[in-house]
Structure 1
Amino acid sequence: MTDDATARRIIVLRHAKADWPQVDDHERPLAERGRAEAPVAGEWLADSGLNPDLVLCSTSVRTRETWKLVSHELPKRQRHTVFEKRIYDATAGEIIEVLKETPDDVADLLLVGHNPGVQNLVEVLAGDESLGDALTQLRQRGFPTAGVAVLAFEGKWDGVEPGVAKLVSYYVPGLE
């Protein structure tokens, strides 16, 4: 069992670029660009040593396709993936409620979701210590498709709340 000072990371990934066919928004697949940029995000995660214990992924087609392409770039290891319908079209507050349900044996969690929810989540969770390059870049660039933000915090998952984390990394494929 872990204690209140356990270091944890929330890896927030926005789905890759989606296509706009004549289908319901939830059913939109990735565009060709999205199929190219998702593996690049996965390579960055692998190169950064980020290999989540648990993945919470929206149920939309584009988030599921993004996660599949990203996961192929990570070191092979048993990880649990939950396709969570509450992440689709969720606000930051709604996503925080989902995060609070994470088991305490999870150190690194990857969330695959949508804007504006994921950008708002990162900005809400990022505390004052985050007022550095990563947060400045996020606020200037927004949260483009296949963008990744990594937040670090100490404590239990049920303690996730505004200002609890520090934004430690921000990456967008093609914007190095």
Structure 2
Amino acid sequence: MSVAEPRRIALFRHAKADWPQVTDHERPLADRGRKDAAEAGRRLADTGIPFDLALCSTAVRTRETWKLAVQEFPQRPKTVYEERIYEASPGELITLLNETPDDAQNVLVIGHNPGIQGLAEILAGSAEDDARERMSRRGFPAAAFAVLSFTGSWKSVEPGVAALQDYWAPAE
């Protein structure tokens, strides 16, 4: 793979979580979250992007979101459960992306707000169609995702480097 080919990053916020008497890291998905995770998986599959790698937070709700979403994919990407995604800032997420091997062309990050939304906003130097307006209007509710593209190596990921290609959020 050439670093001249566009790479894609999908930033996917976990689906709606429940609030039982457990630590934040151990919170499971709510019933609505399970439904929205599967729908988000279908929408991600519909993009046609062949994801090579999924980086998923170790939190229960993100692992459950990914388990339901990936069932909708035609092919399962390699999945790495990464504890650094939990409570990560946009800068920490950029550091993680900078460590991605260049043989990965398209990467999906399943994480949490405010980091996921912040990263989408920071990376998007430009936007296609009305994607930025839709993202600004809706924010980044549970199970939302943004797809960004850029050219270069993963080490070159930095603020403003990408184009926001797509944004989706479940119905309110």
- TM-score tier by shorter-chain length is over 0.9
Moved more, 21-30 or 131-140: 131-140
Structure 1 runs (4+) deviating above 2 angstroms are: none
Q: In the alignment, what sits opposite 1:146?
A: 143
Task: Give the counterpart letter for 1:167 in structure 2.
Answer: L
1:160 and 2:157 correspond: yes
Q: CA deviation at 1:76?
A: 2.8
Q: CA deviation at 1:30?
A: 0.2
Q: CA deviation at 1:174?
A: 2.1
CA-atom RMSD in angstroms: 1.3
The runs of 5 or more residues in structure 2 that have no matched partner are: none
Judge conservation of contact 2:128–2:166 (CA < 8 Å) in 1: no
Identical aligned residues as a percent: 58
After superposition, give the CA deviation of every residue in 1:140-165 in whole Å (9 maximum; x if it has no partner). 21101110100000000000000000
Distance in 2 of aligned mates of 1:42 and 1:150: 13
Distance in 2 of aligned mates of 1:132 and 1:86: 33
Q: In the alignment, what sits opposite 1:115?
A: 113
Moved more, 42-51 or 67-76: 42-51
After superposition, give the CA deviation of every residue in 1:101-135 in whole Å (9 maximum; x if it has no partner). 111011110000000000000000000x2275111
Q: TM-score, normalised by structure 2?
A: 0.96
Judge conservation of contact 1:6–1:156 (CA < 8 Å) in 2: no
Task: Give the counterpart letter for 1:40 in structure 2.
Answer: E
Task: Give the counterpart letter for 2:68 in structure 1.
Answer: L
Q: CA deviation at 1:2?
A: 2.4
- The count of residues paired between Structure 1 and Structure 2 equals 172
Q: In the alignment, what sits opposite 2:71?
A: 72
3-state SS in 1 of match to 2:155: helix
CA separation of 1:132/1:47 partners in 2, compared to 1, >3 Å: closer, same or farther? closer
